Chains A and B, each alone.
Chain A
Amino acid sequence: MHPAFSVVFLTTLIGTGQGLFLALFSAQAYTELNLLPSMSDTNFFGMGSAIALAFLVSGLIASVFHLGHPERAWRAASQWRTSWLSREVIALPFMMAMIFVYGVMHLFGLDGVIYSDASGNHFSYSLIVAGSLAMIASFILFICTGMIYTCIKFLQEWATPLTVINYALFGTASGFTAAAAFSAFYNAPEITKFFTVWAIILTVVVLFTRAATLYRNSRIKHKSSMKTAIGVRHNKIEQKAMGMQGGSYNTREYFHGKTATFLKSVKYIFLVLVFPVPVLFLVSGLGSADAGLLITAFVVQFAGLIVERWFFFAQANHPQNLYYQTV
């Protein structure tokens, strides 16, 4: 497939936005259960939500560039019974609205305690009402985004549950890295360590699932061949003409147009940028909670994720390409 930068940025940006929110949500849950020291600054979660929303809005803006008729985008919510894309179109704004409510409750002091016990464990409205809904919507959104690609069964590189798992884990890993960078920048060291440790864990876990996907795809056996494409039982079928000279949508949309060497180098670039380099920065920032180190970790990982997403699209082999091999 030809990677569209609008979709590359959409999926990476909303993934980070979702992950950042999930990081904030879990930090708040930990503090309210006294597993983490409570935050001295109540604006922390509000500001964090604003940053998460900024990522999500940027993703939404990127997605507009993918559409031929963005003014009709509201129609895309109608086919949620059959289309994962439609489900994503519903889940994304719902989640953004809930994160907005969550952030507003924190920033404007509209929060209150819903339940507390003798040992000081408590739950606030922001966590239980807006936060939980946004958290559920965020997981649903990860599933929707992944399923958009997984459900096309003849794009065999995508048609695996690993696609959904990778989308969810890449999003949360980059989100926790972003949260670590944000909390260090915000000078909230009591919580930075929590984010950093989880960012390292998630990055290592997603290394395994992404490596498993790469291994699976390197051994893939494509079901379609020239034989099934034109229905002629012969092992040697060669296209002599595709029916046009100057190319068409079919030659532009489904081919990345790069060499195999280029594709291979892109794979190694993302493997370096997403995993070892950020983990190195995260580990070195673990003790000091140094904002510079953690922000670098996030920037490098996010750049790597853009490369990873490009590779994800480019690697997928569409069976229609069998019909378009020679001018």
Chain B
Amino acid sequence: MTQLALVIDLNVCVGCHACVTSCKEWNTSGPAGAMSDDNPYDKDPTGTFFNRVQTYEIGTFPKTETLHFPKSCLHCEDAPCVPVCPTGASYKREADGIVLVDYDKCIGCKYCSWACPYGAREFDEHQKVMKKCTLCVDRIYDESLPENERKPACVLSCPTSARLFGDVHDSESEVSVAIRENAGYQLMPEWGTNPSNHYLPRRKTKLHYHEDELQRADNPLNKEHSVAPVDAPTLDDSTSW
């Protein structure tokens, strides 16, 4: 079985919000209709987004670290938002594991958003339906696009390639290898939702030196400090050249 998902490398993300804007651009122009905004160029702008980039500070100054954290629907394998939907508008696709909302069936009761611990769903105040990340389902299967562009808009736009896209059930896929080899983890594992999207942690490149490596016993530079014994024969004394 296929389970499409994103793997987000927090070691690489610079928090530029390119994934946020490209997501909004692609999905607001899609056949499902606009993702509505209020006061976009005014005081208190607000609107519907599928993806947000947040920033956290870890630790206390001066030992602090900044973490940029993109958050969208995690396409959980045991998605708690799906069984609670009274109309069946919220569903998980058998074929590729993408969690979607059928905007024509949604009654806008908001119960699914209560049942998502990650706050991944956003209610569209104008269309009055619940919206969420579709993994660009209208793009990844579009055969009119060149094959290397059949990826979610956020993945294509990321300038640092912090976002990987693929099948997390295929052990040899790029995403599975990345999760396996770089300690990929899931968010809020305590609720048993089994999110498909994974995050790769910050990884520090550190060199470890042993004292011996800094003070080489056979370092020729050290020879300059050693003084020859005064009464010992010199080279001239002992050779006949």
Q: Which residues of A contact B (CB under 8 A)?
A: 1, 66-70, 72-73, 75-79, 82-86, 89, 148, 151-155, 223-224, 226, 228-232, 234, 236-250, 253-254, 318-321, 323-324
Contacts and interface: CB of A to CB of B under 8 A. Distances in A.
B47 A83 contact: no
Contact-residue bracket for chain B? 35 or more
Interface of B is mostly: loop
B26 interface: no
Contact of A224 (B17, B44, B52, B117): B117
B54 interface: yes
B58 A237 contact: yes
B46 A319 contact: no
B176 interface: no
B86 A239 contact: no
Interface stretch (B103-111, B139-147, B162-170, B226-234): B103-111
Contacts of A152: 80, 84, 114-115
Contact of B84 (A66, A84, A234, A237): A84
A241 B55 contact: yes
B107 A246 contact: no
Interface in B101-153: 105-111, 113-119, 121-123, 125, 127-129
Given A79-B86, A240-B57, A244-B49, A68 B113 contact: no
A244 B46 contact: yes
A226 B59 CA distance: 12
Contacts of B49: 244, 248
A72 B58 contact: no
A237 B57 contact: yes
B118 A323 contact: yes
Interface stretch (B188-196, B203-211, B213-221): B188-196
Given A83-B85, A236-B60, A237-B57, A68 B187 contact: no
Contacts of B129: 68-69
Contacts of A250: 119, 122
